[in-house]
Structure 1
């Protein structure tokens, strides 16, 4: 990287008494660091990344003072870095959250160890390529081995980026050793996030360390007593802190500036007793060599799944299930099968198995794409990345909506990892930006995308004429409606409704939200627009129980995995439990 431009960010989630010393040490070297403060350290780091306009972003914690010559060494390291280097970090001395991997530079294997973001820099396009930092809640002021930077480094490594440790980048964390309370929280996180200390070992350590603290106190050895007490607290956390740690590791946001959608953590809520019923969601019924998004079930497995559903559950049309759910008259183990996107293979592969077993299904159609026989952009991404030659340029760089992201993407495994991030990144973008990104991807892969796999409008009409099949609407062009204007949402919903009515001879009663994540891909405005368009119910793409109080415009669905009969039967039992 010739003459790299670097922005240094001090990220904080508190009023740190050490902040002035941290900023002063950077200023003396001409770093001109910017301080970013948010409710969580992950949010601060993500905002800094989203705002960054340089090649490299360097993160320094609010209690880490860099050593003399740190900035010059950082510039030198990045100037000499090879094109596949995604992050460079250095040692951190001090009484807490320290890093020391020796006096020689080394490539860090993120599967075995990582670096702390208190003294860590990233290639901006690479870190954006893995969607930045996971927005974990964390604990104010805590900087340990279970914070979001470690997940980001593992994601970078999976996409092919190298991580370097450079001992010349010396820094020191100021402050006292962690308290017993902090060590308790660390132990809880160790149990949930690391799983490397068996409970039986922790159970034996607690009384021994506690006894050691008492003996040390009796001798007047305060330092040893505190150390033993902290050790006891950490192991007590391993034993008792599961729920507390899970909350700290959970996401604190449903999206970030670099991640359109973050799954919400499951919460136990007091609900009316759920019925033993479920809506199942399929996309493709096909034998795919590679399916990183988990969208396909093989034809053989699908036939087995339909047979299991017919014999062990009570399959019924979606419309009947929703009507009887509201009336409180659903039979036990009621199941409705749905398909999103109207792939052509539904007619060739899925319909015969459904007809043979007498199982009904609802197919949701993105009507404008179907009318134009336009392939889905995510299938184009998959095909291009899978078919690209081994010597395709590396890193792969794509620009969309004015932002560039990059992935090394040399090996099949690296390309699979990159594909997931590309899909998540492009999903909320408009069609023009997605088309430009596909054009760049096609040039990189040195081949155009393959033929469309969507059904024709005539095939949709023929399917609707089959007994047991219902056609629902799935928007016109399959955008993420939640990020579109109300007028755009209204146009998408109504155009899809009208096309389905024209093709099938009857207006659709059901709507499926594209991508389907509540709060990200649709919201209360979208639900109101769908209801105003005359739809009776709508389905999401997140799992959940069905009760008489379930919002009929946000019905949960369970995405079906590619399982054979026996595993599917166990999975279905779990869904219907």
Structure 2
């Protein structure tokens, strides 16, 4: 038996001790990105899927959530999830998942399905395509853009500065950045409604991720509820089936969402919801606040060992 498979089996040998590992991804690029070399690309995702199939029982998220709540989660249980709704999820990730016979859940921010772009991607692509040696971003600082490393540093710094602004302020800041950069952005990064349908028809699960991906804790309660409800109804109308899965935008408990938002999710009829709190959910876990984590290690052994440590945190 594979050493890693044995390790995962021992760490979850009985249903009473069963813990659910949920991996979180966003994009699967066609090839490595020089600015973000650690970003998952097709070859790497294929490798990760092979490891997960060998080590775990990869389950649909709704099924895993029900089994965990009932104390019947099988040993080595795992789920795969994607956030936001990038076009490469359907174009690149789906064929790889199908190759390995795996299922995944795709959480869709529905407001970006009609040719929109998420604010952080506006930041990334503005600086990627900027031809200036140094960018003046007004009150947010000046940034050197001489090579891939300096562009990445600038991207990370700017995202950190504007992430928690109000939605309108954040949008205004990103549009200002785009104008200052002189970049021309035309390539659509998000999938359209047809892409969501194709994922569902291929047996993948679809969950809601709000409309515009706001930080719920920084959003007025009535607007937060509307963001959650409208995304749920849009997906139900699009797919003709109930939407019972939800992912909190940004997803850090206490910082990005609060107990009142968990109550909203429950009241609106979601049965399973996920955060971005590291760890693996065990017996007694709140089904509307399941944990997620993805190792960043490149080697098989390091990737597997970090997943094992995540099970015992």
TM range (shorter): 0.7 to 0.9
Of the candidates 414, 423, 443, which is equivalent to residue 159 of structure 2?
423
Give the corresponding residue for 2:282.
Answer: 547
Q: What is the CA–CA distance in structure 2 between the aligned matches of 1:431 and 1:326, rounded to whole Å?
A: 35
Give the corresponding residue for 1:397.
Answer: 137
Give the corresponding residue for 2:95.
Answer: 352
- 2:201 is the counterpart of 1:470: no
**How far did residue 549 of structure 1 move?**
1.6
Of the candidates 296, 304, 320, which is equivalent to residue 47 of structure 2?
304
Give the corresponding residue for 1:365.
Answer: 108
**How far did residue 417 of structure 1 move?**
1.9
SS at match of 2:286: coil
- 2:57 is the counterpart of 1:317: no
- 2:193 is the counterpart of 1:457: yes
Structure 2 unaligned runs (5+)? 1-15
SS at match of 1:335: strand
* Cα shift readout 1:60-116 (whole Å, capped 9, x = no counterpart): xxxxxxxxxxxxxxxxxxxxxxxxxxxxxxxxxxxxxxxxxxxxxxxxxxxxxxxxx
Give the corresponding residue for 1:448.
Answer: 184
* Cα shift readout 1:347-397 (whole Å, capped 9, x = no counterpart): 121111111221111000001211x2201111111111122224344xx22
**How far did residue 328 of structure 1 move?**
1.1
- 2:126 is the counterpart of 1:384: yes
**How far did residue 289 of structure 1 move?**
2.2
SS at match of 1:514: coil
* Cα shift readout 1:428-462 (whole Å, capped 9, x = no counterpart): 22333223212321232212334221111111012
**How far did residue 564 of structure 1 move?**
5.0
Aligned residues: 295
Structure 1 unaligned runs (5+)? 1-272, 399-403
TM-score with structure 1 setting the length: 0.49
Flag the structure with higher helix content: 2
**How far did residue 327 of structure 1 move?**
1.1
CA RMSD in angstroms comes to: 2.1
Q: What is the CA–CA distance in structure 2 between the aligned matches of 1:426 and 1:509, rounded to whole Å?
A: 31
Of the candidates 255, 261, 266, which is equivalent to residue 520 of structure 1?
255
TM-score with structure 2 setting the length: 0.88
Q: What is the CA–CA distance in structure 2 between the aligned matches of 1:390 and 1:274, rounded to whole Å?
A: 55
Contact 1:344 1:453 in 2 (8 A): yes
Give the corresponding residue for 1:220.
Answer: none
Contact 1:381 1:441 in 2 (8 A): yes
SS at match of 1:561: coil
Q: Which has the higher contact order (CA 8 A, sep 6+)?
A: 2
Q: What is the CA–CA distance in structure 2 between the aligned matches of 1:562 and 1:492, rounded to whole Å?
A: 35
Of the candidates 66, 70, 75, which is equivalent to residue 332 of structure 1?
75
Flag the structure with higher strand content: 1
**How far did residue 553 of structure 1 move?**
1.5
Contact 1:333 1:576 in 2 (8 A): no
Q: What is the CA–CA distance in structure 2 between the aligned matches of 1:364 and 1:405, rounded to whole Å?
A: 31
Contact 1:392 1:445 in 2 (8 A): no
Give the corresponding residue for 1:104.
Answer: none
SS at match of 2:260: helix
* Cα shift readout 1:313-339 (whole Å, capped 9, x = no counterpart): 111011111111111111111000000
